Every structure is written in structure tokens, then in C-alpha cells.
Structure 1
Amino acid sequence: MVLLALALDRETEDRLLPDIIDHGHVIVARPATVSELLAAIERHSPDGLIVGASAGTLTAELLAASDANGIRVVALAATAQERRYVAELGLHEVVAADADWFEIESVLTMGAAIPLRIDDPPDRGGHADDASGVTGTPGSPEAPAPGRHRGRRAVPGRRAKPARQPSPGPEPAAAAEPAGGLEGPGIVIAVWGPAGAPGRTTLAINIAAEIAAAGHTVILADVDTYSGSIAPSLGLLDEAPGFAAACRLSGADALTRSEFDRIAHRYNSPRGAFQVLTGIGRPSRWPELSAERVSRTIAALRGWADYVVLDTGFSLESDEEISSDLFAPRRNAATLAALGIADRVVACGLADPVGMARFLRAWGDLTEVISTHRVHVVMNRVRASAVGLGAAGQVSSALRRFGGIEAAVLVPHDQAGVDAAVLTGRTLRDAAPRSPARLGILGFVQRDLLDAPDAVPARRPWRRATPWRGTAPAT
């Protein structure tokens, strides 16, 4: 038995009401507006809300209140515009307004099925050939059985209600399970670069692909609050951003393994699959990625995979210095939090005069934010046509002279290979395995990123940094 509150039009409500009662559920309220729904949550503490997918019955405020009280919300959408509205709010549980009660109840109890790629159909039964080692997908033994309510989440300080269901098993706690191939928590790798499209997303995607191909479980997350690009680069649906949804769940102490499996996409590859949390599609949604939520989300993710790769934003500006409201959200907080948590930071730039100038200006800012011992410098698109003969030597000399960087990793330019990967929505390993750029990234991953992180020494000024790890691959 599930306690429900309905906020539907009269015709839809009359159609569903007999089936709801026949299945043994109880309707505790039938509000008509968001304010009445909020009052019903306070007064009746329902297990689930079934609402129309319009601004009159579904808002961000309602979703926040539902998360805080562990209530699952299912929206019934009658038009494509309503579906887009629900997706903008970050709600995955949406079904057609003319769906029968069996389909609505399935989403209410099991969660929504999400397509993994643009050309993939939804698969409610879970993912076949799951090489990632992540379990708990719908249909697996760890997922709730059909008819068992999964919407009620544990919230600190909330009084537990008497059980009305047949003994559901406890939900897995966030970060409770060890990583698949490594002992202890997973390793977090943050990829950062200055403004000007230095190749952060391309580098993050292919680092994740090469680590996964080495036999490790990997989660790739888009933490960029300015222009999330991982979803379009891999041909993934990004109408409902996965990382923002994870942060929202984490803020309500509800980010569990099963919830992560529900909101994460999966990049399928015979050479090494990995899971993806897509970024925000609209820059205006950046307030959802607060420092606390991002930190808690990353802490949970590193408990479920050997490696967590983060594609961060470019700006390192401390917003507190220019804001009079010390409690206002900070747009750069997500990037700063990710860099602070990361075990390794990959700082990338473009190997041309403009790109190196931008990188070296931002380099001082980066070294003021984090200590240099865990930073690897990677210069993308190394080519003689941009810097002259002996491109590798020219780039290395400039970095050494103006940045004190003794040895950076140099990735050769391969426009054709990168274009083929973007066109097909694949990694370089899958789209262009012989690409010079892919081989440069592979060597960097094998040499520098697959080792266990060193112990963290005391912070040192960047100008006194010791020589950089890694050697430049031949071009």
C-alpha cells in the first residue's frame, strides 16, 4: 500500500482512480496547485506524488520539498512542451498523460528508464554485458522488486513512519561499497584548462576511456558550470543533466547506488565501458552545483568506481572577493571543490601562441588554488604549423622559460581523428585507434595516471615546484 497525492486534471484523475484503489493504494490528498501540494506534503506525508507536467502543479520548489521528505514525484505529460519543461527541472520520472496505471505504478516504484544514447531505446531491464562492475540497476537482484515502493528515502531528523509494505531491504548507503578493482576509495582525476577551448572535454573523455580499457571501473562526470560538453561529444541525451540530478539527490541524503544507476548514462564499448554523468545543458542552472553538493557527490562516486574523472570549468576566480553576499551561491564553487578534492589534476592547454599565453596566465592562478605536486601539464594539438619547426622543443622551451614547467606531456595534433570521434559520438580509442592524439593520451595515462596517488606533502609555492613528472611523447 502506498499513500498518494494526486494533482491531475479531472479526466485523467477519473480514469486512474479505480485502478489506484483496486491495487490497494490510498489517496490522501487531491490538491490542485503547487501551494496545496506543499501543504499536503506537510500534513499527510505521502509516499508519492502524481502530478500534471505543468507549471501549475510542478515546480522546482515542489521537487525540493519532495526530496527533503523522501517522496517520489511522477509527472504525466500530454505534450512535447510539457516533457521539455519536466526535463528542464531535472525530473526523470515522466510518463504519457494517457498511460495506464500499470505503467505509472512501474515508474512510481522502480524509477524511470533512461535511454543511454540518442540512438538507443530505453531498457527497463538493466544493461546487458555490464562491464563496469556497478550493480543495482532496475531488474537486478539489488533493485527493489516490482510493487515495492522505492521512493521513500531516509532523511536525517525525519521521524520514521510505521511500515506499510512487505519488509523492503535497506537501501545501500552512499559510498559504502568498495571500488571494483582497487582497495579503498577510488582515485579522483580532475581535468582543468583555461578559457578558449583548450581540449578539456576531449582529454577527460579519452582519459576515462583509456583507464576503462585497462580494466578499471570508471565514472566520468561533467562538472563544468559554463558549458557542459560531454553529452554532445558522446552522443548522449542531456535533457536531464545527470550530475545536477546527483547533486540534488546528494543534498537530500538520497544519492544511493540504485539512484546513481538510474540517472547515469553508460558509454558502451567493447574496449572498455564507463558510466557518465552529463552536465547542465543551460548555463543558468549553475546554482544547482553548490560546493557542498559537489563535494558530497564526488565522495559518493569515488566509493563506486576505481577512478572518477571530472571535466571542470575554466574559471578559478574566487567569487567571494567580488560579492557582498557571503551566503550567495558561487558559480566557480563546483570547479574549485573538484580541484580541491582531486587526487590528481590534469592541467591542459593549446600548443599555439594564443593557447600557451592563456595557459601561462592562468597557471599562476591554478598553483595558488592547489599544490603543484599532484598536477600534470598536458599541451594539446602540438603542430609545427602553429609554432614552427621542432614543435615539441618550442612548446617545452616556452613552458620551461615562462612557467617553470620542466616536462609537460605533449599530445600531437590530429584533427581528422578528433573529428571522426565527434561525428560518431565515440572516443578516440573506438573511432580512431591509431590516432597520434589517442596514442599520446594512452602513453600519458599508462605512465602517470594508473599509479596509486602519492601521499600529499605540504603545500609549496608554485615557483619552487619540483620538476614535472612524465616525458613528452615523440611527434
Structure 2
Amino acid sequence: MARIAIALPVALEDRVSDDAVRHGHDVVARSASALELASLVGPVAPDIVIVASEPRYLTDRVLASCDDAGVRLIALATDDAGRRHAASLGIFESMDAASPWPDIEKVIAGAGRELIPALRRAARGSVIAVWGPAGSPGRTTIAIGIAAELAAMGHSVALADVDTHGASIAPALGMLDEAPGFAAACRLAGNDTLTQLELERIAQRYESTLGGFWVLTGIGRPSRWPELSGERVATTIARCRSWVDYTILDTSSSLENDEEISSDLFAPRRNAAAVTAVREADSIVAVGSADPVGLSRFLRAHVDMIETASTNDVTVVMNRIRASAIGMNPHAQVTQTLSRFGGIESPVLVPHDQAGLDGAVLSGRTLADSAPRSPARTAIRSMVMSRLVPEPPPERRSLRSRFRLARATG
């Protein structure tokens, strides 16, 4: 007989609990959230924790509580997103939530485990660099938004702050940045000791009911920029490719190559991190501010970015679209200006939502969590789905998607 603690959705909880009791086990605790479960593991001292593989029920805090108490954890996943979530936390005992109790019993007994393997992803994850000119056009806001939307779609995501001039991801998400994660990763990369386990150790986890993601915080003081050499940054990005599906790089604005003004060609480069991030990226999101000054800065700097980048996959995003700064019909004004002076067609236009963004920063949450109906969030989500994530082949659509399509067209 095993002492079992459960944290599952109501319908699944009733089935698993009844099956466990019927087979002679003792259900010692039921929890409705990860926070409650983490607090119960120590006092209740179960032998096994059965938890839904969803951010609401399964977090790194739950894992830490189970590890401290020496308790085994079994995750039940209802879909691919759940399996990705379990795999991102390093959980290998992940089963299909529809598995009959005898299969779960085998796992509890420690023999004959027929677990669903962790969802395989491409050996080479994608890297998206978010760049923009000087003047705070909203690079960090867009980078966080992209990471949140990719995570909500079920992908494993790492958001890295590569800005050596003014790192801001940590405070925007309410995280401590006393030990910069990206700088630590670069130091380990320089010693050739950067592994997936080390990345998960130094990264912080942003948890959300929509989907969490890893965060490698930036340097707190700009004077620490020599730690982010071009070679180290390139190695770190390469390691991230084998760690997660998508790596989002929040870069600084300056892409100047300062070799010509340096007497030592082997000296560290002030802008090496941003230049390397743009060159290593598979796709680039170029962010500008939709006002006269912002547009002017963007059009001038956009040329340098195109010359630096090694990819032609560039999505232009004009942030803070509003009539008060650009005049009547701001969408047409911005689109025509970019086309006439920069040859840029079909930009993504993100409406200005000061209240929604203020609420997100105040709460240390993503826009998707704090203001899910924000027009800015809607624009970012549409961009991610239409331009950054490849459309899955029709034959791989789920039955639920096919049913919705049939109902919509029938």
C-alpha cells in the first residue's frame, strides 16, 4: 500500500482517487493548486505524488518540495503541451492522463514502466532576436510578449536578456537579478561547461497558467559588458538551441563594430553581444516606435541591422500606434512612411495600450496574464502565430481542431 497525494483537475482527481482506494492505497491529500501541494508534501509525507502536468498543478516549487521530502512524483499529461511542460522541468515519469490504473500501478511499483517518452523536438531549436534602435521603442515588451505567446502554444521557451546597455527583463517580470543568468551562462560557455542542467540551474522560471518559460536575466550593471564576449554569446546561443524549442534574445540597440577604433583586435567589443545575437538568429523582430522621432531612428538604424544580420527573415513591428503622436489614421500613416522611405511592406502594427502595459509592469506579469484582452497582446499573439511559428501540416491537426473546423464550416 502506498500513501498518495493528488493534485489533479476535478474529473481526473475523482477517477484516480477512486482507483487508488479500490486497489488498496491511501489517498492522504488532495490539492487544488501547486502552491497548496508544495506546502502539504512535507507535513503529510506521502510516498507518491500524482500531479497533472499543467502549470497550475506542477511547478519547480512542487519539485523542490518532493525532492526535499524524498517523494516520487508522477505527472499525468492530457496533451503535448503537458508533456512539454513536464519535460521542461526535467520530469521523466510522465504518463498519459487516460492511462488505466494498472499502468499507473506499474509505475508506483517501480517495474514494467511504459511511460510516454518526452515529446521529441527538433535537434536545433529556433532563435529569435528582438532588436530595435535607441530610444526605448519597446524591445523588452515585445520580447516578453513573444515568449509568453510561444509558451502558451505549448512550446518550450527561453527568454534571454542580451542587452549590455540597459537590461530590463528581470524587473519587468518581477524577478531578482542579483545573479545575472545570461552572464553566468556565458562564463560557463567560456569554460566549456555549459550544459542543459547548468542552464536550468542558473535560469529563473516564469510560471503562468497559460504556459511558463525560462528566463536568463541580464547584467545589472552596464560595466559588466566584457563578460558577454562574442564567442561566449555564440556558444551560449548554440547550447540554448539544444535546450528549448525557441530562444528569444532581447538585444541592445547599438550594432556598431568598434574594431577600427581599437588598437587591440583581440580586445572585448562593447557591442559584441548584440551583434552576435543578430548574426546568430534564425529570425529577427525589428521593433520601432510609431512616432516621428521613433520612425526616423528606426529607418536609419534598420539599414545597419540588415547589413549585420545573416538572415532575411525579418519582421518589422511598429509599437505604440496612436493618433495622438502620428496624426489621423495612424495605421495608414505608419505603413506608408515605412514603404516610401524604407521599402518595408506589411509591418506588424501594435496598438498603444498604456493601461494594460502599466498593469503588467506593476504586477510583474506578462501582458497575456495581466491583460489577456489587451489590443497590444492581440497584435503580438497574431504576429507570433502568423509569422514566427510555422503552420503545422494539415494531417497533424488534432481531432479537436478538425471538429472545430468542421463545425465552423458546416
TM over 0.5: yes
Query: Aligned residue for 1:399?
Result: 338
Equivalent residue for 1:217, pick from 156, 159, 164: 156
Residues 63-462 of structure 1 mapped to structure 2, 5 A cutoff: 124-125=64-65, 131=85, 133-136=87-90, 182-371=121-310, 373-451=312-390
Q: Which amino acid aligns with 2:165?
A: Y
- DSSP-derived class of the 2:286 partner: strand
In the alignment, the residues of structure 2 paired with residue 447 and residue 223 of structure 1 have an alpha-carbon distance, to the nearest angstrom, of 26
- DSSP-derived class of the 1:131 partner: helix
Are the aligned partners of 1:179 and 1:304 in contact in 2 as well (CA < 8 Å)?
no
In the alignment, the residues of structure 1 paired with residue 284 and residue 189 of structure 2 have an alpha-carbon distance, to the nearest angstrom, of 24
Q: Which amino acid aligns with 2:169?
A: I
Q: CA deviation at 1:179?
A: 9.7
In the alignment, the residues of structure 2 paired with residue 242 and residue 132 of structure 1 have an alpha-carbon distance, to the nearest angstrom, of 22
Residue 184 to residue 401, structure 1, CA distance change in 2 (3 Å): same
In the alignment, the residues of structure 2 paired with residue 181 and residue 219 of structure 1 have an alpha-carbon distance, to the nearest angstrom, of 17
Are the aligned partners of 1:181 and 1:216 in contact in 2 as well (CA < 8 Å)?
no
Are the aligned partners of 1:379 and 1:409 in contact in 2 as well (CA < 8 Å)?
yes
Count of aligned pairs between the two proteins: 296
Are the aligned partners of 1:136 and 1:261 in contact in 2 as well (CA < 8 Å)?
no
Q: CA deviation at 1:388?
A: 0.7
Is 368-377 or 200-209 further displaced after alignment?
Answer: 368-377
Q: In the TM superposition, what whole-angstrom CA distance separates every residue of 1:177-211 from its partner, at most 9, and x where no partner exists?
A: x9955322110000000000000000000100000
TM-score after normalising by structure 1 = 0.59
Residue 121 to residue 373, structure 1, CA distance change in 2 (3 Å): closer
Residue 353 to residue 267, structure 1, CA distance change in 2 (3 Å): same
In the alignment, the residues of structure 2 paired with residue 397 and residue 126 of structure 1 have an alpha-carbon distance, to the nearest angstrom, of 57
In the alignment, the residues of structure 2 paired with residue 218 and residue 179 of structure 1 have an alpha-carbon distance, to the nearest angstrom, of 16
- DSSP-derived class of the 2:87 partner: coil
Q: CA deviation at 1:367?
A: 1.4
In the alignment, the residues of structure 1 paired with residue 284 and residue 118 of structure 2 have an alpha-carbon distance, to the nearest angstrom, of 20
- DSSP-derived class of the 2:85 partner: coil
Q: Which amino acid aligns with 1:437?
A: A
Q: In the TM superposition, what whole-angstrom CA distance separates every residue of 1:37-70 from its partner, at most 9, and x where no partner exists?
A: xxxxxxxxxxxxxxxxxxxxxxxxxxxxxxxxxx
Q: CA deviation at 1:133?
A: 2.4
Q: In the TM superposition, what whole-angstrom CA distance separates every residue of 1:8-40 from its partner, at most 9, and x where no partner exists?
A: xxxxxxxxxxxxxxxxxxxxxxxxxxxxxxxxx
Identity of aligned residues (%): 62
Q: CA deviation at 1:271?
A: 0.2
Are the aligned partners of 1:179 and 1:185 in contact in 2 as well (CA < 8 Å)?
no
Are the aligned partners of 2:280 and 2:310 in contact in 1 as well (CA < 8 Å)?
no
Q: Which amino acid aligns with 2:349?
A: L
In the alignment, the residues of structure 1 paired with residue 221 and residue 62 of structure 2 have an alpha-carbon distance, to the nearest angstrom, of 24
Query: Aligned residue for 2:56?
Result: none
In the alignment, the residues of structure 1 paired with residue 311 and residue 196 of structure 2 have an alpha-carbon distance, to the nearest angstrom, of 33
Are the aligned partners of 1:218 and 1:308 in contact in 2 as well (CA < 8 Å)?
yes
In the alignment, the residues of structure 1 paired with residue 369 and residue 242 of structure 2 have an alpha-carbon distance, to the nearest angstrom, of 28
TM-score after normalising by structure 2 = 0.68
Q: Which amino acid aligns with 1:239?
A: E
Structure 2 residues not aligned, in runs of 5+ = 1-59, 68-72, 76-83, 94-116, 392-410
Displacement over 6 Å in runs of 4+ = 120-123, 126-130
- What RMSD, in angstroms, separates the aligned Cα atoms of the two structures? 2.4
Q: CA deviation at 1:406?
A: 1.5
Q: In the TM superposition, what whole-angstrom CA distance separates every residue of 1:69-115 from its partner, at most 9, and x where no partner exists?
A: xxxxxxxxxxxxxxxxxxxxxxxxxxxxxxxxxxxxxxxxxxxxxxx
Residue 214 to residue 181, structure 1, CA distance change in 2 (3 Å): farther
Are the aligned partners of 1:230 and 1:279 in contact in 2 as well (CA < 8 Å)?
yes
Q: CA deviation at 1:364?
A: 1.2
Is 249-258 or 309-318 further displaced after alignment?
Answer: 249-258
Are the aligned partners of 2:127 and 2:248 in contact in 1 as well (CA < 8 Å)?
yes
Are the aligned partners of 1:220 and 1:277 in contact in 2 as well (CA < 8 Å)?
yes
- DSSP-derived class of the 2:247 partner: strand
Structure 1 residues not aligned, in runs of 5+ = 1-119, 142-177, 453-475
In the alignment, the residues of structure 2 paired with residue 442 and residue 232 of structure 1 have an alpha-carbon distance, to the nearest angstrom, of 23
- DSSP-derived class of the 1:225 partner: coil
Q: In the TM superposition, what whole-angstrom CA distance separates every residue of 1:315-370 from its partner, at most 9, and x where no partner exists?
A: 01001122111111001111111111100000000000010011011011111112
In the alignment, the residues of structure 2 paired with residue 223 and residue 179 of structure 1 have an alpha-carbon distance, to the nearest angstrom, of 30
Are the aligned partners of 1:381 and 1:413 in contact in 2 as well (CA < 8 Å)?
yes
Residue 132 to residue 306, structure 1, CA distance change in 2 (3 Å): farther
Is 211-220 or 120-129 further displaced after alignment?
Answer: 120-129
Q: CA deviation at 1:407?
A: 1.4
